[in-house]
Amino acid sequence: MANYAVIRMEKYKKDRLNGTQKHNQREFQKSKNENIDRERTHLNYDLVNEKPISYSK
């Protein structure tokens, strides 16, 4: 089995940061994605930051 990582980079304007942050850090209470298992959300973690960060800062 090959080991690899997929990295996606995209340029965002400041007015889109809030929505992007909420999406990436799963801060939305309701999502259109019906496949999300809310009981497992507590297992999510960030490999770099211990706590959620503000993208605009």
Tell me: the pLDDT tens digits for 12-54?
888 888 888 888 777 777 777 788 888 888 888 888 888 888 8
CA distance 23 to 35: 15
Whole-number pLDDT of residue 15: 83
Which residues 6+ apart lie within 8 Å of 56 measured at CB?
A: 14, 17, 18, 21
pTM of the model: 0.54
As a dihedral over the C-alpha atoms of residue 10, residue 15, residue 23, residue 27, rounded to 10 degrees, the angle is 150
Whole-number pLDDT of residue 42: 84
Whole-number pLDDT of residue 20: 84
